[in-house]
Amino acid sequence: MSVYLDYAATTPLRKEVFDCYVEHLQTLGNPSSVHSSGQLVRRALEEARESLAKSVDCNRSEVIFTSGGTESDNLAIKGLFWQRVAEDAKRTVIISAATEHHASIDPMEWLEKHDGAEILWLPVDDQGAVDLLFLEQYLSANHSKVALINLMWANNETGVITDIEKVVTLARPYEIPVHSDAIAAFGHIPISFSESGLAAMSISAHKIGGPVGAGALIVSRATKLVSIIHGGGQERGMRSGTMNAPVAKAFALAAELAIAELSEEYSRLEALRNKLVQGVKEITPLARLTAELSPRMPHNAHFSFDGCSGDSLLFLLDQQGVCVSVGSACQAGVNGPSHVLVAMGRTPSQANGCIRMTLGKQSTEADVDAFLHALPKALDGALRAGMTG
């Protein structure tokens, strides 16, 4: 059986969540219908909304169900930009960082190409930290041009955590909305939407033991945005389409379980991660732990290895039954160095020689031991292959 160390890509569907999903799949009715069958499904949907709101710490009306994190990011970024430009045509600047996930980068660049947006990429240091002093100074001089700020809560590749509440504090005097992609963070570290002050926040189910194809955009009651999907006006008019109650129920249960177990799992996974990191350092001096000095997610270990290709390491570890990644699963198979590491100042060869190990609910010490046992052989093969993998 494979050793799975790629929980940041996706997680196993929890049995409780699977059972909940199957149960509600068997209930007939459109939640927008007024008859009793429809209202039975509507009740399940709103129960899910209430439950997820408690897990996120927001008002139930702020939960907008979507098909996943990518849709949520697109709705937030495009919707906020279009709303702001409609209110003030001079507000065309989107502030972000080049270390963002492509689910955010691509819609921002689409707006730049098609709708006159200007993207300000904030400086990022070699530890993956966004330069908040630069942000503060830029806002002081240029706030009237800014449409929104988009920064992820935790980086999906390196695990680096951004001080989102500080970002919101800098933006608040100028009434600039902030959206955060919290997909890599939600369910793994404490998050409160109400305390964050965010205008919008994206989350996804399959990162926390829920089903693929389920996500949510949390939109504050004070925030307006333009919809990117038009139709029946569901979800506060922000996301039209027949609402998927079975998926919503499954997502809400996965979130409830993740939040209930968060403190215990945080400590357990951090200890496992630390064992993995120490083991790698003892095996080879060629390993460079990414962002070692920055606040990081407890289950993430991201390394670069001098003189070899991350793709080669992934392939050779996979041959021994160990599953890792070289970065975002959404970019798997895309040739080229990690855009995250390049933004952090790494050379192309350094950014090509990285692998990411992420732990989860089913991870054990035996999994870490198996990875450490497999690494020397994989590293030997990858070094002989050089940077051609």
Angle at 245 between CA 244 and CA 246, to 5 degrees: 100
Asked if 308 is an active-site residue, the reply is: no
Evaluate whether 155 touches 99 at the Cβ level (below 8 Å).
yes
Indicate the helix (H) or strand (E) that contains 289: strand 287-289
Q: Residues near 242 by Cβ (< 8 Å), separated by ≥ 6?
A: 30, 31, 32, 232, 234
CA dihedral of 105, 107, 112, 113, whole degrees rounded to 10: 110
Calculate the alpha carbon distances from 185 to 78, 117, 219, 257, 297 in Å: 22, 28, 17, 15, 8
Calculate the alpha carbon distances from 287 to 162, 219, 282, 342 in Å: 24, 41, 9, 17
Kindly state the tokens that stand for 314. Answer: 């992934």
Token pair 């390993």 is found at 287
The number of beta carbons lying within 10 Å of the beta carbon of residue 241 is: 15
169, with CB counted inside 10 A (0-12, 13-18, 19+), is middle
Beta bridge partners of 287: 305
The SS3 of residue 138 is helix
**Residues linked to residue 358 through DSSP beta bridges, in sequence order:** 6, 300
Question: For tokens 């002050």, what's the residue?
Answer: 197
Of the residues 20, 308, 330, 354, only one is catalytic, namely: 330
- Catalytically active residues are 330
